[in-house]
A and B are shown apart, each in its own frame.
Chain A
Amino acid sequence: MILLHRLVRLLVVLLVVTFLSYALLGLLPGDPTTQILGLSATEEARAQLRQELGLDQPLLVRYADWLGGLVTGDFGTSYINQVPVAQELAERLPVTLELLVAAQIVALGLAVPVGVAAARRAGGTLDQVLTAMSFALLSTPVFVLGVLLILVFAVTWQVLPATGWTPISVDLGWNITSVLLPAITLGAGQLAVYARLLRTDLIATLQEDYITLARARGLSPRRILWRHALRPSTISLITAVGLNLGALIGGTVIIETLFGLPGIGRLIVDSIFSRDYLTVQGGVVLISVGYVLVNFVVDLVYAAVDPRIRHA
């Protein structure tokens, strides 16, 4: 029942989002003919191409055509390079997915120990230092951080590649090195947010009666912290992980450009500039589905973390 409910919601979200993006793209001045034919094409050539691509049809007709294709699994063909959109997305998706997962691993992997350490002695020197570092990371634009990391790790120490991408299928080692700097850059801002959230929730949990009881029973502070306080303090963190997906996808556009990664973010931005409507639409569908799915998984994780939600 929940699944059906979610599926209906997903369909509604998809319809609304894809129609809005189609309409907004339609409002943009210009069309792909200049990009495809160049400056020196004649008016007749442009008109003919517009007709071939169906761009002379009203917006609603074009949207209905595209939607009809989507139902049968046909995302259409890119106006610019004549490659099926599904193929383009399939080639780019692994890069962006790996980058997103790696960024979350970096962010969560560091945020949990940092948040716990800060909450353990709230107001202490370590907490203040970690708080200051979190704010510094939050206020540093990703492109500045990216350039700085490249300067240190690639130019000065020469231990990581500055730019470029090696797929896992080609070489696992080089794949890890090529994703490290982009993932750290993308995950750094999230790390600061997650650490702050966890610290605040953990401090609140540590004031709860059951924690006082656990202390009275003589449990060690470490056991209380990791076993009894951490899990109930992660609800906000889990919510943030789900909601931040949108911000992370936005961030991949900059990261992919900065580090020369062939991902979805770059594809969508390039396609917007070249008015490659169908490729943009394909990307929008993919991101919408991904966003809804991730937040569905987040709901399931809530239930696993907090039995009260499971039994509600």
Chain B
Amino acid sequence: MKRWRRLAALSLASVVLVACSGQRPVAVSEKSSDPTTPVVGGKLVYGLSADAAGFNPVTDQFAAQSYSMATTIIEPLVSVDVNGDWKPYLAESLTPNKKSDEWTITVRSGISFSDGTPLTGEVVKANLEAQKASPLNNAVLAPVSSFELVDPKTVKVKLKQPWVAFPYYLAAQIGMIVPPSSLKDPRGASQKPVGTGPFTFQEYVPDSRFVVAKNANYWRKGLPYLTQIEFRILPDSQTRAQTLEAGQLDAMGTSRDEDITKFGALKDAFTVQRSQGMAVAEYMFMLNTAVKPFDDIRVRRALAHAMDRKAVISTLRGGLTKEADGPWSKDSKWYAEGGGYPEYDLAKATALVKEVEAEKGPIKFEIISTPDPNTMQGIELAQDMWRKAGIEVTIKQADQADLINRAVTGNFAATVWTQFSSPDPDGEYIWMHKGYAGPVGSIALNFTRLKDDKLSQAFDVGRTSPDEATRKQAYATVQQRLRELVPYVFVDHLDTGAVIAKTTVHGIGEHVLPDGEKGLPMTGSPIPYHPFSGVWITQQ
């Protein structure tokens, strides 16, 4: 009996020891003596914070993590370069007519999908038509009147109005091209994506992992370097960081300032790439200007005057971010001074509150927040600052779906919000233009319900004028009006979105576009994404 017990114990111990013995075997890359010369081969294990809601760009809403995974397989017609300008990707060229109300897209030759179907003008037209018909994008593509096939390589996009920033929209989900088989079987394409990209689909286990393998017939010769990428879905930011530390991830996305500080200090072992420029979203408090008390501009300005942005940054972000006074950061070419954003001044805030109270009585409002601790911390900090100015704020918790629903229907007074990471200012058109502001209770994309003629005209000029100086002037007006009217109490530019990688991982944020220009290192919010075709790894 004792012998059996010993044998059983030994067997159990052996199973556990064998199972615990060292790292999981993975494909290894060649050794490189030169740290700047890419080596071919190897598997990259990459940690993401959330799963995608599907990989079909026509039917599934893409978040940043969706782009991380899907763009390894499906490529867009257009990309954005390091200067923030759009550049052709699957397209060879995009040419506007004189008025920019017609765009001619010519497709590159010699590109095929991984299922062997050639990329043609007809395929591009079918994709764009599917996008226009999709309820996901028909509001964004409302200015498009038709798509016409000019010749086997060329598609003409006819618009109802001039639209100079149209190509930027083709750099995202709308411009990602799938083969006809995916258009015919949208459910299949949602789970098993097919495209022209550097990798092909290998395995997808929802909420666990998404695995892609090198596309041996990729049209960009010499790319990609990696043999395989495994994206691991690890929603808990603490354990995701621990998994990287334990060596079981090669890289991960994060938006936590403590990760940036901690891994940033370990320069020999890790690199930290942070998002910057237009790709950075803004953290703010969004106010509904159609309801009390925010239909009074003095109350909105009082809130901004009472907001100590420096205190928020030092308390919540470890001092890593910069104060925001508008939707675009100072390192963007679109940033412009002017308008006089209400600086932190408690005396001014209190004076405005007293002035309003003398006319209308005490100022009270409810602010909505998701229940997660980080968001709540920010709200409570703001609540305390506003209370000091004499404004009574109650916090109501709502889950993400409820919060968004309230924002869309205008059923809120104030809420915490993060937005504005489009590569071109025109990307914010539908969120701020008066044409998208509806009465409370109806669905409207201009959530603040601010109907300002000057701001809307400036957005129209920015959309229709091909002259960059004119556009810059127009968007300067947008920023000026936002600072004057304060539909948003801006706090900071959330550039804590970062990708942290082992030093053995190279090429993150250093990709080159097909025509040789340097690509935009990273984009997306709150955790940025980047292409993987130029990423390579060396053995430690």
Contact = CB atoms under 8 A, between A and B. Distances in A.
Contacts of A244: none
B139 interface: yes
Interface in B441-489: 442-443, 445
Interface string B373-411: 000000000000000000000000011111011111000
Given A34-B401, A164-B209, A260-B239, 13 more contacts: A45-B138, A80-B53, A81-B191, A82-B190, A158-B247, A161-B24, A163-B248, A164-B232, A260-B232, A260-B234, A262-B233, A267-B207, A275-B401
Given A29-B398, A177-B20, A262-B207, A36 B61 contact: yes
B246 interface: yes
B510 interface: no
Nearest to B444: A43
B379 to A, nearest CB: 19
Interface stretch (A53-61, A147-155, A212-220, A291-299): A147-155
A28 interface: yes
Given A30-B405, A258-B236, A40 B140 contact: yes
Interface residues of A, number: 58
A89 to B, nearest CB: 12
Contact of B401 (A30, A40, A163, A177): A30
Contact of B445 (A39, A162, A180, A270): A39
A176 B136 contact: no
Given A45-B138, A159-B20, A34 B190 contact: no
Interface string A36-78: 1111111101101100000000000000000000000000000
B208 A262 contact: yes
A163 to B, nearest CB: 5
A145 interface: no
Given A80-B53, A159-B20, A275-B401, A164 B243 contact: yes
A261 interface: yes
Interface string A128-169: 000000000000000000110011001100111111110000
Contact of B239 (A163, A174, A266): A163
B137 interface: yes
A38 B136 contact: yes
A253 to B, nearest CB: 11
Contact of A29 (B135, B139, B405): B405
B399 A261 contact: no
22 contacts: A29-B402, A35-B61, A37-B135, A48-B135, A81-B206, A146-B239, A150-B239, A150-B243, A158-B246, A160-B20, A161-B243, A162-B248, A163-B248, A164-B232, A172-B19, A173-B18, A173-B19, A180-B16, A260-B235, A260-B243, A261-B208, A262-B208
Contacts of B408: 34, 39
A306 interface: no
B329 to A, nearest CB: 22
Contacts of B233: 260, 262
A145 to B, nearest CB: 12
Contacts of B445: 39-40
B403 to A, nearest CB: 8
Nearest to B407: A39
A105 B15 CA distance: 16
A41 B139 contact: yes
Nearest to A165: B208
A257 interface: yes
A227 B190 CA distance: 59
A174 B15 CA distance: 10
A34, A165, A260: which has the most chain B beta carbons within 10 Å? A260
Given A165-B208, A176-B16, A273-B400, A81 B54 contact: yes
B53, B208, B398, B405: which has the most chain A beta carbons within 10 Å? B208
A274 interface: yes
Nearest to B235: A257
A81 B53 contact: yes
Contacts of A146: 239
B236 A154 contact: no
B366 to A, nearest CB: 14
A29 B443 contact: no
Contact of B242 (A46, A151, A262): A151
A29 B20 CA distance: 47
Interface string A80-123: 11110000100110000000000000000000000000000000
A260 B208 contact: yes
B309 interface: no
Interface string A228-262: 00000000000000000000000000000111111
B242 A155 contact: yes
B14 to A, nearest CB: 10
Contact of A176 (B15, B208, B245): B15
Interface in B30-67: 53-54, 60-61
A177 B246 CA distance: 14
A185 to B, nearest CB: 11
A82 B208 contact: no
B117 interface: no
A259 B239 contact: yes
A162 B401 contact: no
Given A37-B136, A39-B408, A173-B19, A164 B248 contact: yes
A209 B401 CA distance: 63
A36 B53 CA distance: 8
B408 to A, nearest CB: 7
B240 A163 contact: yes
A273 B247 CA distance: 32
A260 B246 CA distance: 15
A306 B20 CA distance: 40
B187 interface: yes
A278 B187 CA distance: 18
A154 B401 contact: no
Nearest to B61: A38
A38, A150, A174: which has the most chain B beta carbons within 10 Å? A38
A259 B401 CA distance: 25
A46, A91, A154: which has the most chain B beta carbons within 10 Å? A154
A166 to B, nearest CB: 8
B401 A257 contact: no
Interface string B393-436: 00000111110111110000000000000000000001000000
Contacts of A164: 208-209, 232, 234, 243, 248
Contacts of B191: 81, 83
